[in-house]
Structure 1
Amino acid sequence: MKKVTKGIFALIAGVLVFGLAACGDSESKTLSTKEITIGVTGGPHQQIAEQVKKMAAKDGLTINVKTFDDYNTPNTALSDGDLDANNYQTIPFLESQEKDKGYDFDIAFKTVAFPMGVYSNSIKDLKNLKKGDKIAVPNDPSNEYRGLKLFEDAGVIKLKDGVEEKATKNDIAENPLDLEVVELEASQIPAQLDEFAAAAINTNFAMGAGLSINEDSIYHEPVKDNPYPNVFVVRSENKDDEVVKTLEKYYHSDEIKQYIEDEFNGSVVPAF
């Protein structure tokens, strides 16, 4: 009987310890209001984060900015807990990653947009394209549709009705000029621009090549109310955390808006 009683007490003690540990884990999942780590890609996102970091420091909030040079690692790091948040991706890219990799993320708020443009070293207007010319678009699922849609909006091609965001050149329904559409790694297109009559280039890569959407593109997405805003992303459990709301105030402040407008000359625009 004593052995049974001891066993029951041991079991109860174990349950209590587990319960306390679980409570502790639950509390630890709330993001700190004193220090937070944000993942970004190099370039504008990093520059903006550094400005936000300065603002936060005045209020006693330390922001660690971790910079990445690819589009996949920041989400992996966020899922693994190495980051508290990230800011670098569009909603279609985020949704694709969540579906493919099972991430449990939430959008906290919109930040900026990078309007995609069409660039050329040989023509000044897409109306000057000739039969059989080569054009280039990014080959990744989240950006190829944007590139094809740009050429469609300009009246160069027509996509199949009801085409989805993961469209490729195989989804072109009409191509009156019989253009050769080349799918390339987005980062490689600026360096190979001379090989094409025109190419759709992501703004971050265009900026890296010294190209400005307002001064150099021959066609581009809407600058105002751009349909592809970048978003500040957190794990779902942290969406309503106090520090996330504080960060939104910084990112959406007049000071940051003015910085974006002054620094990027329309190639990056506020999406709030």
Structure 2
Amino acid sequence: MAHTRLSALTAILLAVTLTAAGCGSQGKGEVTASEKTGSTPAASKEPVKEVKLTVGAAAVPHAEILEVVKPKLKEQGISLDIKVFDDEGQLNPALKDKQIDANYFQHVPYLDSVKKEKGFDFAVTAKVHVEPIGFYSSKLKSKDEIKEGAKIGIPNNPSNEYRALVLLQQQGLIKLKEGLTTYEATPKDIVENPKNLKFFETDSATLPRALPDLDGAIINTNLVLEAKLDPKSALFREDANSPYANVIVVRKGDESREEIKKLDAALTGPEVKKFIQDKYGVAVVPAF
């Protein structure tokens, strides 16, 4: 009986020894699948597939704000490609022609003023910021210095022209006719002009350069920033309760795309709000 137990024990020890020797030989001579690929079983998970999202934007502050969310979107598998357009008038045609996936430069009144004429079938997905327009002058120090017959520069595109004239009306300098409900107006719609102000209607981008030839001009804040003017130097400006929030615009039907939803969420988060407040102060106001 003792002899049987001893034989069994010997057989078990021999089996263990052979197994250990087999494992040792694999470690010294054979290459495992993990070693061939340089990975471990735990690291065999598929990497997240990156999706490219191209957004057209004005340079300041739009492209700068987009840069803030770029790293966060990268973590979510989205490669954000920011295309800056010097000619903002090309941003909507570029979106229509599928050169970009979204654009970020305009407010809803502007979009409404051009979409029917141009045949844009777009959707707005997020409100990001307001750029309060202001009255700037290289000659005057206060509103009270605006004299009889002063030459005032205003943007010549319909929605921003209306916006400029409404600002002058709020300051008591002119009065517009009643019933203007389409965010469109020109100096022809002025019914009272006690100082007989003369209006210089031109492309928005030229107004900062035209200041020396004018008594003052109403200029969009992004153009003020690009021209390196101090936004605090405005003699007066819109308040924060403006309908002119700058928005993310996409082709209709694309608002449900996951990457667009993630872009909107990133742009309306606390990190962007803090960036806008810290960098731009009174010049740019979060709209969320």
Q: TM-score, normalised by structure 1?
A: 0.83
Contact 1:114 1:268 survives alignment (8 Å): yes
Q: What's the CA shift for 1:160?
A: 0.9
Relative to its length, the structure with more helix (as a share) is 2
Q: What's the CA shift for 1:150?
A: 1.1
2:214 to 180, 196, 202: 196
Q: What's the CA shift for 1:167?
A: 0.7
Structure 1 match to 2:189:
171
Structure 1 match to 2:73:
56
Identity over aligned residues, as a percent?
A: 39
1:216 to 222, 230, 233: 233
Q: What's the CA shift for 1:199?
A: 1.2
| Structure 1 runs of 4+ with >3 Å offset | none
Structure 2 match to 1:205:
223
Q: What's the CA shift for 1:262?
A: 1.1
The amino acid of 1:167's aligned partner reads A
Structure 1 match to 2:199:
181
Q: What's the CA shift for 1:81?
A: 1.4
Q: What's the CA shift for 1:115?
A: 0.7
Tell me, yes or no, if structure 1 residue 69 matches structure 2 residue 90. no
Q: Secondary structure at the match of 2:253?
A: helix
Q: Distance in 2 between matches of 1:63 and 1:131?
A: 51
Task: State the structure with more CA Rg.
Answer: 2
Tell me, yes or no, if structure 1 residue 225 matches structure 2 residue 244. no
2:157 to 128, 140, 143: 140
Q: Distance in 2 between matches of 1:77 and 1:192?
A: 29
Structure 1 match to 2:127:
110
Q: What's the CA shift for 1:116?
A: 0.2
Aligned length: 239
Contact 1:33 1:242 survives alignment (8 Å): no
Q: What's the CA shift for 1:34?
A: 2.2
Q: Which moved more, 1:42-51 or 1:192-201?
A: 192-201
Matches within 5 A, 1:37-56: 37-56=54-73
Q: Distance in 2 between matches of 1:41 and 1:121?
A: 25
The amino acid of 1:120's aligned partner reads S
Q: Distance in 1 between matches of 2:207 and 2:126?
A: 30
Q: Distance in 2 between matches of 1:131 and 1:165?
A: 27
Deviations along 1:17-60, whole A, 9 cap, x unmatched? xxxxxxxxxxxxxxx97221111111211111111112211222
Q: Distance in 2 between matches of 1:35 and 1:69?
A: 22
Structure 2 match to 1:36:
53
Structure 1 match to 2:276:
260
Q: What's the CA shift for 1:66?
A: 1.1
Structure 2 gaps, min length 5: 1-48
Q: 1:82 to 1:41 in 2, by over 3 A?
A: same
Q: Secondary structure at the match of 2:205?
A: helix
Q: Distance in 1 between matches of 2:75 and 2:241?
A: 32
The amino acid of 1:136's aligned partner reads G
Q: Secondary structure at the match of 2:80?
A: strand
Structure 2 match to 1:161:
178
Q: Distance in 2 between matches of 1:182 and 1:160?
A: 20
Q: Distance in 2 between matches of 1:57 and 1:83?
A: 18
Q: Distance in 1 between matches of 2:183 and 2:148?
A: 27
Structure 1 match to 2:5:
none
The amino acid of 1:190's aligned partner reads P
Structure 2 match to 1:12:
none
2:101 to 80, 84, 105: 84
Tell me, yes or no, if structure 1 residue 124 matches structure 2 residue 141. yes
Contact 1:108 1:232 survives alignment (8 Å): yes
Contact 1:225 1:271 survives alignment (8 Å): no
The amino acid of 1:267's aligned partner reads A
The amino acid of 1:62's aligned partner reads S
Q: Secondary structure at the match of 1:135?
A: strand
Q: Secondary structure at the match of 1:75?
A: helix
Q: Distance in 1 between matches of 2:193 and 2:109?
A: 26
Deviations along 1:157-179, whole A, 9 cap, x unmatched? 11111124221111110001111
Q: TM-score, normalised by structure 2?
A: 0.79
